[in-house]
Structure 1
């Protein structure tokens, strides 16, 4: 992993890397799992009798049924907005969120609906722009870190990608945020964290990027992409490698500990490279001064 971190660290240092954040990052500060959302919808819809069969449907189908029964997902969104919140203290104490801010990515894409990333930047007093729809794109300042809410934001019901129809609509990848991501992803290194890589939409997104490059005459110019997984089997790793995604893993069993350790090592290497770069500039300046003297 050392060589992979070296290349990734250089991309981060040069601000050529995009971070893609999944649900695993929000769960470390206490947000409910998808299973808890499924259990709530089953209870609201009176589907307890279906037991495991209902849970096997997954949250998009249940959310679709919820919309059909209630006419909208408004009440469900309100429940999620209340329940999927954690205190500022939890975010402040999260080493993972501290490291994300410290690494200073110019863009962070996330499929999470919550505000934890925004809160982390607010606590650190670092400027950012939240982007959840086409309108938000018009307010972005050049130096702000962009936090792109790829599956929507609680402040905008229409932006949420939650029901099965929402996911199907996104499969064409032609929304304003999809167009933005394709453009950003073509020119920068990607790092995915907090994903199990079993989400069909994310896998299709990665496949589309790979397909775009393979159809071009410049596949060798493609920036590297990475995904951190605490554990990865040979089948999953082989498929992701085929799509040009380098899988980074850990020997630490605990998922939170493994991700924290990975980000710590990445941040440390970025810091070392930054110091080396500063030393080279000082050395060059001293040599220039001597030659002029």
Structure 2
């Protein structure tokens, strides 16, 4: 375990970014299943539909044809929040809720992080838009839904256009992020090194420090990955992101073990 990461964690100086891999730990639908749903609603064979573009482009096409998220939003809400899911059984969610993470940013739409906080009796403010920022209660953890939340359809970042708008970093949430990121290290969990959209997010966050750090020493940031990828690790290193890998093959178990070691260090 990285000594600087442990020190920053104990001081409450880690800004946690949570991606889809954390939700996958609960058995939530994969992006592949979501694309199959898009294809079905549009009358395409799923295998053919997938050859026409990446996920963002396919979701953009759906938005254009349907005039919005339409019935897809309701389907996602049902699939992502299956009542049979037991968040109390997820050690990963337990560590997120009970660890020393004052502010969590998540690009997941689901509310299982919030439900885990409630299960473990940790008070929190959920932030989706600017009104949520002004209504935050003091002395509570913060969960920032960076790509939106099912409670506000207009906040959901799913199509290509909404994703590009999100990464302009010009909304009130981005102003908050600029303030939150200063003086803190960022720890990314549940993200894929192979995803170009994820790497672009890392790049933009790195630029936030360069543009708004005001001469401060840039903290080291970290990404946990269950598998090593020396090429992607070198790319991330130039942006000040150190990759931490595991010897455990199964990704969920690897992340659980990493968080356990960090929180009990």
TM band (smaller chain): over 0.9
In the alignment, does 2:57 pair up with 1:61?
A: yes
Structure-2 residue corresponding to 1:95? 91
22, 25, 29: which one pairs with 1:25?
22
Structure 2: where are the runs of 5+ without partners? Answer: none
CA contact (8 A) 1:38 1:58 kept: no
Indicate yes or no: 2:114 matched with 1:118: yes
Task: Compute the displacement of 1:19 (Å).
Answer: 0.7
How many equivalent pairs are there? 264
Q: What is the root-mean-square deviation of aligned Cα atoms in Å?
A: 1.9
Aligned counterpart in structure 2 of residue 194 of structure 1, from 184, 190, 193: 190
Q: Give the Cα separation in 1 of the matches to 2:253 and 2:82.
A: 20
SS in 2 for 1:12: helix
Gap change, CA 1:69 and 1:52, over 3 Å in 2: closer
The correspondence for 1:185, drawn from 178, 181, 185, is 181
* Structure 1 position 187, deviation (Å): 2.2
Query: If each structure's helix is expressed as a fraction of its own residues, which one has the higher value?
Result: 1
Tell me, in whole angstroms, the C-alpha distance in 2 between the residues paired with 1:232 and 1:87.
35
Q: 2:142 pairs with 127, 139, 146, which one?
A: 146
2:125 matched residue in structure 1? 129
In structure 2, the CA distance between the partners of 1:125 and 1:88, relative to structure 1 (3 Å rule), is: farther
Q: TM-score, normalised by structure 2?
A: 0.93
Q: Give the equivalent residue in structure 1 for 2:40.
A: 43
Shift in Å at residue 59 of structure 1? 2.7
Any stretches of 5+ residues in structure 1 without a counterpart?
270-293
